[in-house]
Amino acid sequence: MRAGGWARAARAAAVGGHVAAAGARFCARLPLARLGPRRETRASVAGRTVAGLFTALGPAYVKLGQLLGTRRDLFGADVIRHLSVLQDGLPPGPFGGVAALFRRELGVEVGEAFAELDPEPLASASVATVYRGRLRDGRAVAVKVRRPDVARRIRTDLGLLRWAARRLGRLRALRAVPVVAAMEEVCAVLERQLDFGLEAAASRRLRAALACEPGVVVPRLVDELCGPSVLTMELVEGFGSHRAPAGSDARAALAAAVRALYRMIFVEGCIHCDLHHGNLGFLPGGRAALVDFGFVAEIGDQARKNFARFFYALATNDGATCARITRNTALSVPPDLDYAAFRAEVVALVEGASRTPAGEFRVAGFVGRLFEVQRRHGLRGTNAFVMPILALLVLEGIVNEVDPGFDFQAEALPYVLHAAVRPTVGSGFAG
C-alpha cells in the first residue's frame, strides 16, 4: 500500500474509533436523558453526542457540523441546537515554519519584508493562524498563514466523508434526506477555504463592491506578500471586539454590517457566510470591519432573484407568493403534495410574521418554522438558499446581542428591490 493509502487507512481507523466511542456514549446517556431536572429528548442526546464527536474529529468535521446546523429543513430543533454552536478554536500553528514559507512561496526573506513580525498570534482557527506584523514602510499588517499539512489532512477527511455519505444515502431511513448533496456542499466550502488564491480574489472583489457602503471597512491586501498559503493585508486597528460602541455608534455600525450583507446577497451574489465575532469587528465612528473571506459562497442569478422575491413577499405579507416560490425552488416535491394545505400553512406563517412589531422579527425563528412546514409536507428545500440563510442567521445572532430592537427587515428593502426588479447587476452577474 502506498504512503497515501496508509494515511487514509490510518485516518479511517481513527475516525472509526471516535465514532464507536461516540456510539457508546450515546447508549450510556440515553437511559439518563429523562432523569433529573434537565430532561432531554432522544434527538437532543443524539445532537449533543454528534457535536462532541465532530469536535474531537477536527476541522473538516466541525465545519460539517456548523453547516448541518443551519439545515433546519433536515433536522429537528433538538439536533440543530447542539450543531449550531460548534466552534473550531484550535491552538496556533507553529511559528517556526513561517520564514521558510515566505522563502518558498514568495522568494522573500521575512526580515526583508517586515520590520517586525510578532510570533504571538492574533487569531487561530482550523485552517490558518494570523500574526501581527509591520512592513518596512511602517504599515501595520495582519499575516494569515495556512497550517502546515492541513490541506492533506482535510482532503483525506473529505474523501472519508464523501464515502460515508454515499453509503448513508442508500439507507431506507435516510432516502428522503439529501445526504450526498449536503456533504458536497460541505466539501466544496472546505476545499475553497484551503485555496488562498480564491480567498484573495473574493477579498478584492468584495472590497471593491462594498466601497459604496458608508461605514464598511474591508482591509486591502498587500499583493506582493500573498501566495497559495499566505495572505498579508492591512491591519484594521481597533478590531477585536464584536461589541459596537454604545449609543448611536452601535446602531450605525450594525446598520453598516447589515447593509454590507444585503448587498452581498441581493446585488453581488457573492456572500461572506462566516460573519461571526472573529470576522466582524465594530469600530469607533459607527464603522463595521469585515475580514477573512475564506468562507465565501456565490449564488446564481436565478437563485438570487428567487431569494429576493421571497424576501419581498415576506415583507409585504404575500404568503401565497412565498408558498409558490418555496414549492417551485424545492429540490424535490412529493407527487401527492396537498398544495392547498401547504399554501395555507405558509400564508398563516407569513401573516404571523407580518404582525410581529418591527425590530422583533427573527430570521432564525421564521426559517425554523418554514422548514418545519416543508418537512411535514415532504418538500426538500433548495440548496441555493442555504448559504444566504446561513449568513443571515450568523449576523442576526450578533445583532440580537448588540441591539435586539434593530429592524433587520427595513434595511433589506432597497437591496431586495434592486435584485427583484433591475434587469442587470454588476460584478459579472446578470440581473
- Say if residues 293 and 271 touch (Cβ distance below 8 Å): no
Cα–Cα distance for residue pair 306/419, rounded to 1 Å: 9
Residue 372 located in a structural domain: yes
Task: Pick the last residue of a domain from 177, 192, 207.
Answer: 192
For 16, the domain range is 3-88+151-192
Q: What letter does residue 221 receive in the DSSP assignment?
A: B
Residue 207 located in a structural domain: no
Residue 167 located in a structural domain: yes
Q: Which three cell numbers stand for residue 141?
A: 499588517
Residue 264 located in a structural domain: yes
Residues 41 and 155 reside in one and the same domain: yes
pLDDT tens for 198-234 read: 999 999 999 999 999 999 999 999 999 999 999 999 9
**C-alpha radius of gyration, the chain, whole number:** 23
Residue 324 located in a structural domain: yes
Helix 150-168 and helix 3-29, axial crossing angle in degrees, nearest 10: 60
Q: Which three cell numbers stand for residue 291?
A: 475580514
Helix 339-354 and helix 319-329, axial crossing angle in degrees, nearest 10: 130
| Cβ-based neighbour number of residue 85 at 10 Å | 11
Predicted pLDDT at 318: 96
pLDDT tens for 6-23 read: 767 787 788 888 888 888
Q: Mark the ranges of the chain whose per-residue pLDDT is less than 50.
A: 242, 423-431
Residues 188 and 251 reside in one and the same domain: no
Q: Can you list the alpha helix ranges (DSSP code H) found in 30-94?
A: 42-57, 59-68, 77-83
* pTM summary value: 0.78
The overall average pLDDT reported for the chain is 83
Residue 412 located in a structural domain: yes
Residues 187 and 323 reside in one and the same domain: no
Predicted pLDDT at 350: 95
Residue 133 located in a structural domain: no
Predicted pLDDT at 4: 58
Predicted pLDDT at 240: 64
Look-up: residue for cell 440515553? 30
Residues 293 and 395 reside in one and the same domain: yes
Residue 100 located in a structural domain: no
How many domains does the chain fold into?
2
